[in-house]
Amino acid sequence: MINPAFSWNIVDDIRTMWAYPFMVNAFRAGAVVAVVAGVMGWFMVLRRQTFAGHTLALSAFPGAAGATLIGIAASYGYFAFCTAAAAVIALATRGRAAGPGSSRVSESALTGIVQAFTLACGLLFVALYHGFLNGTTALLFGSFLGITSSQVALLAATAAAVLAILAAIGRPLLFASVDPDVAAARGVPARALSVAFLVLLGAAVAETAQITGALLVFALLVMPAAAAQRLTARPAVSLLLTVVIGFLVTWAGLTAAFYSPYPIGFWVTSFAFAVYLAAQAAPVLLRRARRPTFLAGAPA
Amino acid sequence: MQYKDTALNPFTSTQPARDQTAPAGQTAPAPPADPGPVLELRGAAVRVGGSVLWSGVDLTVGRGEFVAVLGPNGVGKSTLLKVLLGLLPTAAGQVRVLGQQPGRASHQIGYLPQRRSFDASARIRGTDVVRLGLDGDRWGLPLPFGPRSRAAAQRVSDVIDLVGAASYAGRPVGECSGGEQQRLLLAQALIRRPELLLLDEPLDSLDLPSQATAAALISRICREQGVTIVMVAHDVNPILSHLNRVVYIAAGGAACGTPAEVITSQTLTRLYQTPVEVLTASDGRLVVVGQPEPPAVHSDRHASHDHHDGGAP
């Protein structure tokens, strides 16, 4: 295992890292993932579908385990399971607003059912594939080792497709997310949009899971978006901020993981969490800075 | 035909604005060659969940009228608006909205659904909510610059000024009070210069002074913009002095006419099929006495009927 010392000479440090082709690939993949996860996560946080996102993330685990079991690249397993789980959740809960006589279950209950079942599948695949134990940790908590150029190309192509579709449906999706009743009255196909969104989210989760692992997808999916939405209520600005935060956090995490013995998932999550805490604290601190008399002693 | 709705296309600046830019009363829009009624219902009936909510509703509403839809809880007042929007099919009778089938003219209709409040954590500005009413249903991304973008931004700020929401439109909408949110939503409904405005209990859950202010604002928009307003109301008194016409729906059917014609002991007794008395207080407020309690089965009256949305074109 390479563990060169971090010199604080950033240029030299980056040059040292990028001397390794696999690190260059990791940085490329990280950049792609940060953008896709940021944008999709921003909509997910706005739509309050984090539970569905979490379930899709967990279904990345059996996807990768199953792919390894049958001897294909884990990427395909991620995409197959994540988008399939998204389709199941989206289609089975289509009528969740149906009347009291409906036999349909609520979205959150069904999401929980899908989650439990996918985890069980993952456990089964791991049990079937003997001697898999090292790989399991990487699947759950992420790894930046061994990302090939063709994997980066696959990530980039999927990301481009996801972002292109999202650009096309983004405005009606925002309308239907913020204001579903009026959007429906204006003829926005809210249901079809919600299905499309979940499938896109599945693809984004599958991408993210390859860097952060199945359990820590939220580091890139939720935290940058939550931090950005806390900092500004302007949609365009907070969307851009989300991508920037995700990007910085991922690259910083990769660097830290390269120069330390600790796993990438931990670093990315910790950095994202730090940014989130800072975003929570910043408005409060700013307000206090603007009103120094507030602390100095208001009339009792 | 590039724009079937040229007159309503918010980006057409050559169109004389039926706006606060025009002095009140002077430049009311010239009526089209054949205006026709804005709403026309003939023997309309609606069925929700297998049972008939109301039937035999005859109603004609002309341009620029302010109409209130009244009646007890659960009688299907909101459902009437959904029928007009084309979100629910009628079980019988004819419905014409702006001369077309319901749902066809949705770009000429502003809709303010029943009391929805944004969650306190909603991190989006009031301006953005209003803007979504302008072009939120279009596919693709808007250009952030250019004449269209400027015209859209101008329209958003105009309509926000019209409802008097400028001071809080830049705040996250979740932090605005109920009355402030209601004004922003009214701006959202008005932004495309609709011919017809459907308001579902917009005064609900406002305190009494806010109710009077909001009623005056809605009435002013009706007069100055020449917009036809159909407003579902629980209590007629805050809007009584502004109304042209009321539709009263009760279990026994519906009655339509001026408030003085409809809100009488005689008409309501017939509609409720039980003795009802209408009293007039010294300040002119109407009090309906002996109004029967609404049937208990209407607990789902505000349940969403989204499963019919597919019918909307």
The CA–CA distances, whole Å, from B90 to A67, B93, B102, B246 equal: 52, 7, 10, 21
Whether A293 shows a pLDDT value over 80: the answer reads no
Q: Which residue among A99, A101, A171 places its CB closest to the CB of B136?
A: A171
Greater model confidence, B307 or B269: B269
Contact A100 B189 (CB under 8 A): no
Most confident segment among A176-185, B185-194, B255-264 = B185-194
Residue B32: helix, strand or coil by DSSP?
coil
Cβ neighbors of B129 (< 8 A, separation 6 or more) are: A178, A179, B118, B173, B184, B185, B188
Say what the pLDDT of residue A98 is: 39
Contact A190 B309 (CB under 8 A): yes
Report chain A residues whose CB lies below 8 A from the CB of B112: 182
Interface of A with B (CB under 8 A): 46, 95, 97-101, 167-172, 174-175, 178-179, 181-188, 190-191, 229-230, 232-236, 238
Alpha-carbon distance of A199 to A90, in angstroms, equals: 8
**A298 belongs to a structural domain:** no
Name the nearest CA neighbour of A147 among A75, A248, A202: A75
Greater model confidence, A152 or B145: A152
Residue A40, both tokens: 């999709």
> A57: distance to nearest CA of chain B, Å?
24
Report chain B residues whose CB lies below 8 A from the CB of A183: 132, 136-137
- Average pLDDT score, chain A: 84
Q: Which residue among B85, B128, B172 places its CB closest to the CB of A185?
A: B85
Say what the pLDDT of residue A276 is: 94
Whether A100 shows a pLDDT value over 90: the answer reads no
Q: Is B37 exposed, middle or buried (0-12, 13-18, 19+ CB in 10 A)?
A: middle
**A5 belongs to a structural domain:** no
Residue B297, both tokens: 């089965």
Mean pLDDT is lowest, of A5-14, A157-166, B14-23, B272-281, for: B14-23
Contact A178 B124 (CB under 8 A): yes
Whether A2 shows a pLDDT value over 80: the answer reads no
DSSP B18: -
The CA–CA distances, whole Å, from B284 to A276, B261, B279 equal: 57, 15, 9
Residue B284 and residue B263 in contact, taking contact as beta carbons nearer than 8 Å: no
Say what the pLDDT of residue B34 is: 54
Name the nearest CA neighbour of B67 among B244, B252, B255, B271: B244
Q: Which residue among A167, A185, A233 places its CB closest to the CB of B140?
A: A167
Number of separate domains in chain A: 1
Report chain B residues whose CB lies below 8 A from the CB of A236: 144
Name the nearest CA neighbour of A82 among A220, A225, A211, A200: A200
In order of start, what are the domains of chain B with their CATH numbers? 39-105+195-311 (3.40.50.300), 118-193 (no CATH)
Report chain A residues whose CB lies below 8 A from the CB of B128: 178, 233-235
Minimum CA–CA partner of A231 in chain B: B123
**A299 belongs to a structural domain:** no
Cβ neighbors of B294 (< 8 A, separation 6 or more) are: B72, B73, B74, B75
Greater model confidence, A139 or A58: A58
Say what the pLDDT of residue B2 is: 41
Give me the CATH number covering residue A253: 1.10.3470.10
Report chain A residues whose CB lies below 8 A from the CB of B113: 181-182, 185
Q: Is B182 on the interface with A (CB under 8 A)?
A: no
Alpha-carbon distance of A235 to A242, in angstroms, equals: 10
Whether B9 shows a pLDDT value over 80: the answer reads no
Task: Please list the alpha-helical segments (H only) found in chain A.
Answer: 10-18, 21-47, 50-58, 60-70, 74-92, 107-128, 133-141, 149-178, 180-185, 190-212, 218-221, 223-231, 235-258, 264-290, 292-297
Say what the pLDDT of residue A133 is: 53
Name the nearest CA neighbour of B183 among B153, B139, B217: B217
Report chain B residues whose CB lies below 8 A from the CB of A238: 123
Interface test with B, best of A182, A188, A234, A287 (most B CBs within 10 A): A182
Contact B303 A190 (CB under 8 A): no
Question: What tens digit of pLDDT does each residue of B261-298 get?
Answer: 888 888 888 877 778 888 888 877 787 777 655 544 44
Whole-number CA gyration radius for chain B: 20
Contact B111 A185 (CB under 8 A): yes
**A2 belongs to a structural domain:** no
For the complex shown, is ipTM > 0.85?
no
Greater model confidence, B25 or B219: B219
Whether A109 shows a pLDDT value over 70: the answer reads yes
Residue A264's pLDDT band (boundaries 50, 70, 90)?
Answer: confident
Name the nearest CA neighbour of A224 among A3, A36, A24, A38: A38
Residue B18's pLDDT band (boundaries 50, 70, 90)?
Answer: very low
Alpha-carbon distance of A60 to A56, in angstroms, equals: 7
Alpha-carbon distance of B93 to B44, in angstroms, equals: 4
Residue-number span of the structural domain to which A137 is assigned = 10-95+105-292
Helix crossing, B147-162 with B178-190: angle to 10°?
A: 130
Say what the pLDDT of residue A3 is: 59
Alpha-carbon distance of B258 to B248, in angstroms, equals: 10
Residue A131's pLDDT band (boundaries 50, 70, 90)?
Answer: low
Q: Which residue among A170, A182, A187 places its CB closest to the CB of B133?
A: A182
Residue A257 and residue A263 in contact, taking contact as beta carbons nearer than 8 Å: yes
Alpha-carbon distance of B69 to B245, in angstroms, equals: 9
Report chain A residues whose CB lies below 8 A from the CB of B106: 185-187
Q: Which residue among A101, A171, A233 places its CB closest to the CB of B125?
A: A233
Question: Average of pLDDT values for A112-140?
Answer: 81
The per-residue DSSP string of A170-199 comes to HHHHHHHHH-HHHHHHTT--HHHHHHHHHH
Say what the pLDDT of residue A41 is: 93
Helix crossing, A10-18 with A21-47: angle to 10°?
A: 110
- pTM more than 0.90: no
Cβ neighbors of A183 (< 8 A, separation 6 or more) are: A172, A175, A176, A190, B132, B136, B137
- Average pLDDT score, chain B: 78
Alpha-carbon distance of A61 to A269, in angstroms, equals: 18
Question: What tens digit of pLDDT does each residue of A21-60 get?
Answer: 888 999 999 999 999 999 999 999 988 888 988 899 888 8
Residue window 238-277, chain B: list those with CB within 8 Å of chain A: none
Whether A219 shows a pLDDT value over 90: the answer reads no
Minimum CA–CA partner of A164 in chain B: B140
Q: Which residue among B123, B137, B138 places its CB closest to the CB of A229?
A: B123
> A286: distance to nearest CA of chain B, Å?
16
Residues in chain B: 313
Residue B53's pLDDT band (boundaries 50, 70, 90)?
Answer: confident
Residue A81 and residue A63 in contact, taking contact as beta carbons nearer than 8 Å: yes
Say what the pLDDT of residue B12 is: 39
Mean pLDDT is lowest, of A215-219, B1-5, B115-119, for: B1-5
Alpha-carbon distance of A255 to A6, in angstroms, equals: 9
**A3 belongs to a structural domain:** no
Q: Which residue among A95, A100, A172 places its CB closest to the CB of B136?
A: A172
Q: Is A299 exposed, middle or buried (0-12, 13-18, 19+ CB in 10 A)?
A: exposed
Say what the pLDDT of residue B14 is: 39
A with B: how many residue pairs have Cβ under 8 Å apart? 110
